[in-house]
Amino acid sequence: MTEIKNFFYILILFSPHLLNSVYSAYYYKCQESYCIKEEITNNTTDPLLSLPECNVLCLDSAGLWPKPTGNVSISNLTEINSSNFIFSPFPNSSIYNLVNKSIEIFRYQINELKPCRFFLKSTSSNLTSVNITLNISDVESNTPKIDTDENYNLTAVFDEENNVIQVTVNSATYFGARHGLETLTQLVVFDDIRNRILLPSNISISDGPKFKWRGIVLDTSRNFITPKAIKRTLKGMAASKLNTFHWHITDTASFPYVSQSRPELSEAGAYSARKVYDDQTVRDIVEYGRVRGIKVVPELDAPAHVGEGWQNTGVLTCFNWTPWGSYCNEPPCGQFDISQSEIFNYLEDIYGDMLDQFGTEIFHMGGDEININCWNNTDTMTDWMVNEKGWNLTKSGFYEAWIYFQQEAQARLWNKAGKDVPIILWSSDLTALDNVTDVLPTENYYIQVWTTADDSAIQTLLNKNYTIILSNYDALYLDCGLSSWVSTGNNWCSPYKGWQTVYDNKPSDIAGNKTSQVLGGEVALWTEQTDSSSVDVRLWPRAAALAETLWTDPSTDYSAAEERMLLHRERLVDLGINADALEPEWCFKYQQHCPSSGVFNV
């Protein structure tokens, strides 16, 4: 890359025509709230707006993503000295280091806007500088939580006398201020017609999310996802104002998590010694997320979805049994043998490790896709059920065993945490029990729903006063639509879920008058057919569609957001994220000409 840049510098130095004041044969003008491409001629009298400039001035909400929920007023794009962003000193406090890191990220992202030719331009001493002040009322809250206030107000006023734009971000917490800086980053644009950096000199934005839980669940067990790729995911989340990284860190296929207390599990269960998440790596990822306003929530799935790593513990059954279709939903199979009490000593130790690394606000225990036939063919378990517990070997008896496991696991988690940590479980046969509120009290459990949006079980859970998290597979499973990896045809949850489907998956349409019980939602990426080389293209920009749905709760469908989505996809690419192409680039440059119902497609 360095060689390419050096070649580009030499090319420009010996090609003076590249340094002309106008770098394009085309410009854009605003028409019906969209940007229209026009040829520059000798008779052109319109202002020569570049596409980035026009997007800010013309598109809905200045092209911002996610769309702000309050007032948006933008005017007077002004050329600025992009090397002279001056931040007012921030007082020493619990968030001092977070603020400084956020400023570093801001400066880096602005610098990445500039193409090579920008650095060859002579800089005028008369360019407008930018002063930025962060006013944060709570300077002690330094960890993102479910109830963290993420609201912010962003203002900019031009001080003509001093030739400076005074930018102010007001927020209750650091995390709201971080969102404000993210919005400001999107308003700094490179004018590729005149080779300059622009910022509106007058800004007034009030903003804050509609839903508290806006996230991604990423499986790192079926295929290992490198820490570098995970950080790219977190970077994209921050740019889209997603705030929860749900880390499905282990499963039957591998156990890459290095437990400080039980290291033998990853030694036996990781794909290789290089494909693990050790203590330092986990803490680094948690911190990387914290700086970007993202809480990292671990999931230790059980009593199903266990296999590799547990082979020599004496607590595992059904591991890699065949034919696998009789004992689990996909290979390899594996479940805990609930009769083995040593399970809970293992789990308590691992819970302690994870709580120390991830915090004690909330914990995901998985808890779905139990295969009763697996347990029914495990002699030690059936003997224990009948002879020690007095349970029959019908479905209801096995549900008793499942309840026993969940309550004992809960007790061990709470013992390690020293408090009643709220627990998330996936929806399952257990959460569908008539007496589920006796087994899983609503004050202690959140239910993450993965079945279809029209599943009557959702309304049943809401009527029982559960708070739910939406991950309905008919809209939010991003691994759908690929070929089957266990047979012919397509995979089980086909078809592919486009960004439009993700965007239009509105909580209010699913929960109706119980929408207040929806904490939020997550897109899910299960990695049977994804690894570090493809994780970006599977997640992005579709995950950003969920970000706007849960931040803004828009009253319109995806079509009203299409131009802003294409713009945000470009932002993600500029950040080094390999976001999938949604349309030909031509559509990005000819707004509303590609959609069949587009304004100009008449």
Percent helix, percent strand, percent coil in the chain, to nearest 5: 40, 20, 40
- Phi, psi (degrees; rounded to nearest 5) at 80: -125, 160
* C-alpha neighbours within 13 Å on the C-beta side of residue 10: 6
* CA–CA dist 433, 489 (Å, integer): 34
Q: Return the H-helix or E-strand segment holding 111.
A: helix 96-112
The amino acid at residue 385 is M
* CA–CA dist 479, 496 (Å, integer): 8
Q: The tokens of 430 are what?
A: 């257990």
* CA–CA dist 442, 422 (Å, integer): 10
List, in sequence order, every residue forming a beta bridge with 591; answer none if it has no partner: none
Q: Return the H-helix or E-strand segment holding 277.
A: none
Place of tokens 């065993």: 401
Place of tokens 């067990």: 221
Count of CB atoms situated within 10 Å of the CB of 588: 17
Q: What are the residue ranges of helices labelled H in 115-254?
A: 174-187, 227-240
- Phi, psi (degrees; rounded to nearest 5) at 266: -75, -30
* CA–CA dist 152, 196 (Å, integer): 28
Residue 564's closest CA among 552, 490, 329, 148?
552
Q: Exposure of 39 by Cβ count < 10 A (0-12 exposed, 13-18 middle, 19+ buried)?
A: exposed
Residue 369 designated active-site = yes
* CA–CA dist 511, 246 (Å, integer): 22
Residue 351's closest CA among 410, 308, 296?
410
The amino acid at residue 457 is A
* CA–CA dist 390, 370 (Å, integer): 21
* CA–CA dist 244, 296 (Å, integer): 6
Q: For the chain, how many residues are written? A: 602
Q: Exposure of 383 by Cβ count < 10 A (0-12 exposed, 13-18 middle, 19+ buried)?
A: exposed
Query: Which of 330, 361, 369, 400 is the catalytic position?
Result: 369
Residue 549's closest CA among 538, 534, 560, 563?
560
The strand pair at 213-219 and 244-248 is best described as parallel
- Residue 438 CA to its chain's centroid (Å): 33
* C-alpha neighbours within 13 Å on the C-beta side of residue 325: 2
Annotated catalytic residues are 369
